[in-house]
């Protein structure tokens, strides 16, 4: 099983982008935001992988310096990703 917490912890993004996303966590509403970000509904087990794919796509645009880079959407996706990973059950260690 993929450990999404580790993947999220290992993301290397500009500090300002991460700070903006953390600031937006308190306003995150799953029912409203996921529908908009993922263009509809996704099965619960596919939400985080889809958000990771979208974040990677946006990061690629950011790194190329493309003028069409949607910084607001990137922040929204990071907010959703952080919130969704925090809702996942913690792995039990014995």
pLDDT value, residue 48? 86
Please tell me the distance from the alpha carbon of residue 72 to that of residue 54, in angstroms, as a whole number. 13
Tokens of 16: 């300002």
Q: For residue 80, what pLDDT is reported? A: 92
Instruction: Please give the model's pTM, rounded to 2 decimal places.
Output: 0.82
The reply to whether 62 falls in a domain is: yes
Q: What is the DSSP string of 58-89?
A: HHHHHHHT-TT--HHHHHHHHHHHHHHHHHSP
For residue 15, what pLDDT is reported? 87
Inside any domain, residue 92: no
8 found inside a domain: yes
The verdict on residue 93 lying in a domain is: no
Low-confidence ranges of the chain (pLDDT < 70): 1-2, 4-10, 40-44, 89-94
The answer to whether position 29 is within a domain reads yes
For residue 94, being part of any structural domain is answered with no
83: containing domain: 4-87
Q: How many domains, in total, are found in the chain? A: 1
Tell me what pLDDT residue 5 has: 65
Assess if residue 49 is contained within a domain: yes
End-to-end Cα, the chain, rounded Å: 17
């Amino acid at each position: 099983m993929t450990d999404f917490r580790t993947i999220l912890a290992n993301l290397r993004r500009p500090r300002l982008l991460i700070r903006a996303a953390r600031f937006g966590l308190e306003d995150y509403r799953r029912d409203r935001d996921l529908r908009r970000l993922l263009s509809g509904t996704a099965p619960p087990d596919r939400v985080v992988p889809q958000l990771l794919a979208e974040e990677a796509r946006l990061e690629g645009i950011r790194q190329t310096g493309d003028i069409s880079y949607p910084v607001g959407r990137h922040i929204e996706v990071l907010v959703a990703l952080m919130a969704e990973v925090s809702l996942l059950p913690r792995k039990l260690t014995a």
